[in-house]
Structure 1
Amino acid sequence: MADHIGQRIAARRQSRRMIQRDLATAAHLSLSMIRHIEQGTRAPSPSALESIAAALGVDPARLDPAFAGTSHRVHAALPLISAAIAGYDIRLDPPARRREELRREVAAAVAQRLAAQYGLIAGAAPSLLADTLALLHHSAGEQREDAAVLVVAAARCADAVAYKVGAHDLSARLIDVMRWAAAQTGDPVLGTAVAYTSAETYLAARAYRVGQAALEQALDASPAPVTAVAAAARGALFMRTAVVAARAGAATTAYEHLEQATGLAAGLAEGVYLGTAFGPSSVRIHEVAVAVSLGQDHIGRALDVARTWKPGAEVPAERQSGFYVEVGRAQLWAGQPDAAFESLKVARRLAPQHVREHPWAREDIEKIRRIKRADAESLSAFAEWIGAV
Structure 2
Amino acid sequence: MPAPSSAALGLRIETARAAARLSRRELAERSGISPSMIQKVGDGRRIPSDQVLGALAAALGTTPEDLLDGPGRTDSRVHQAVPELQRTIVAYDLPEDGPVRPVDQLAADVEVAVEDRVQSQYVRLGEQAPALLAELFRAVDQTCGREREEAARLLALAVRSADAVAYKYGYRDLSARLVELMRWAAGIAGDPALTAAGEYVRMETFFAARQLAPGLRSLREALDRMPAPATERLAAAAAALHMRAAVAAGRMRQADDARDHLREAEALAGRVQERLYDGTAVGPDSLEIHRLSVAVELGEEADLQGAVAAASRWAPPRTLSAERRSHYYIDLSRAQMQLGRPQHAAESLLVARQIAPLHVREHGQVRTELATMVRLTRGRDEQVLALARWAKAV
TM-score range, shorter chain: 0.7 to 0.9
2:234 and 2:328 map into 1 onto residues whose CA distance is 25
1:106 equivalenced with 2:106 (yes/no): no
1:329 equivalenced with 2:342 (yes/no): no
Deviation at 1:352, TM superposition (A): 0.4
CA deviations on 1:237-261 (whole Å, 9 max, x unpaired) are 1101111111122111111001111
Counterpart residue number, 1:353: 358
Does 1 or 2 have the higher relative contact order (CA < 8 Å, sep 6+)?
A: 2
Counterpart residue number, 1:13: none
Deviation at 1:70, TM superposition (A): 7.0
1:147 equivalenced with 2:151 (yes/no): yes
Deviation at 1:300, TM superposition (A): 2.4
Deviation at 1:82, TM superposition (A): 1.3
* Mapping of residues 1-389 of structure 1, within 5 Å: 71-95=75-99, 97-297=101-301, 298-389=303-394
Q: What amino acid maps onto 2:151 in structure 1?
A: A
Q: State whether residues 94 and 138 of structure 1, in contact with CA within 8 Å, keep that contact through their aligned partners in structure 2.
A: no
5+ residue gaps in structure 1? 1-67
User: What percent identity do the matched residue pairs reach?
Assistant: 44
Aligned residue for 1:269, secondary structure, equals coil
Q: State whether residues 261 and 283 of structure 1, in contact with CA within 8 Å, keep that contact through their aligned partners in structure 2.
A: yes
Deviation at 1:85, TM superposition (A): 0.9
Where does structure 1 differ by over 4 angstroms across 4 or more consecutive aligned residues? none
Counterpart residue number, 1:17: none
CA deviations on 1:229-288 (whole Å, 9 max, x unpaired) are 111111111101111111122111111001111111112221111111000010110011
1:152 and 1:70 map into 2 onto residues whose CA distance is 28
Alignment: residue pair count: 322
Q: What amino acid maps onto 1:137 in structure 2?
A: D
Q: What amino acid maps onto 2:77 in structure 1?
A: R
Aligned residue for 1:309, secondary structure, equals coil
TM-score of the two chains, using structure 2 as the length reference: 0.79
1:164 and 1:351 map into 2 onto residues whose CA distance is 13
Counterpart residue number, 2:43: none
2:227 and 2:324 map into 1 onto residues whose CA distance is 26
1:219 and 1:95 map into 2 onto residues whose CA distance is 38
TM-score of the two chains, using structure 1 as the length reference: 0.80
Aligned-CA RMSD value: 1.6
Deviation at 1:99, TM superposition (A): 3.0
2:187 and 2:271 map into 1 onto residues whose CA distance is 29
Q: What amino acid maps onto 1:134 in structure 2?
A: R
Aligned residue for 1:308, secondary structure, equals coil
1:210 and 1:305 map into 2 onto residues whose CA distance is 32
1:221 and 1:300 map into 2 onto residues whose CA distance is 37
Counterpart residue number, 1:37: none
